[in-house]
Amino acid sequence: MAPLTFITEEYPPYNYLDNQQLTGVSIDLLEAIFAATDTPLSRHDVRYYPWVRGYELALSQPNTVLFSTTRTPAREASFHWVGPIAQDRVVLLAHRDAPITIDALSQAIDRDLTVAVIREDIGAQALLEAGYPERLLVPAIDNRSALSMLTRGRVDLWAYSADVAAWIAESEGYSSDSLIPIHTQRIFAILCH
């Protein structure tokens, strides 16, 4: 069997850089798997890319492991799955200074609310699958860029993991209550593939 290439992205607390070293729950789990299988690899052998690049590599390059990845029906046939690692909630987040409330996704559509998304991320895919108009989705380079777009009022909402978004916000100096989940899109399992 050909060697595997391991790729991850910033998705704390599962996988992220801390003092230029990969860390997090999924990194620790991967190293435990390496040890249990006598695989001569470590966290230093994992490549760290922005989500879109890692996702595209996983789709196009054989023997590529991308983690942590959310398992969805649309992605099911594209990968071989290992896990789960955890469960996650994809939500629409509003900034606390922009009091937005909705009871259903259709209300956000009717109000033409723009949403920051990361291309090929589960938030973008879930919204598109639910019929959210693509013209209202504003691509961000990464999660910190999406946070900046929301806090600066360039978008109305951000589609992302509630827990990861809170972690990112706090790491950027915002208080833990600066992001308000206003709609839960879906709950997914996070796995490796």
The Cα 14–Cα 5 span in angstroms is: 18
**pLDDT digit string, tens, across residues 54-77:** 999 999 999 999 998 888 888 889
Average pLDDT over residues 169-191: 82
**pLDDT digit string, tens, across residues 87-121:** 888 899 999 999 899 999 999 999 999 999 998 89
Task: Say which CATH topology domain 5-86 has.
Answer: D-Maltodextrin-Binding Protein; domain 2 (3.40.190)
Does position 192 have pLDDT exceeding 70, yes or no?
no
The answer to whether the pTM exceeds 0.75 is: yes
Residue 99 confidence (pLDDT): 81
The Cα 4–Cα 133 span in angstroms is: 37
Residue 184 confidence (pLDDT): 87
- Write down the architecture of domain 87-188 according to CATH: 3-Layer(aba) Sandwich (3.40)
Residue 33 confidence (pLDDT): 93
| The domains spanning 5-86 and 87-188 adopt the same CATH topology | yes
131 in the Ramachandran plot: left (φ > 0), alpha (ψ -120 to 50) or beta? left
Q: Taking the domains of the chain in order of start, what are their residue ranges?
A: 5-86, 87-188
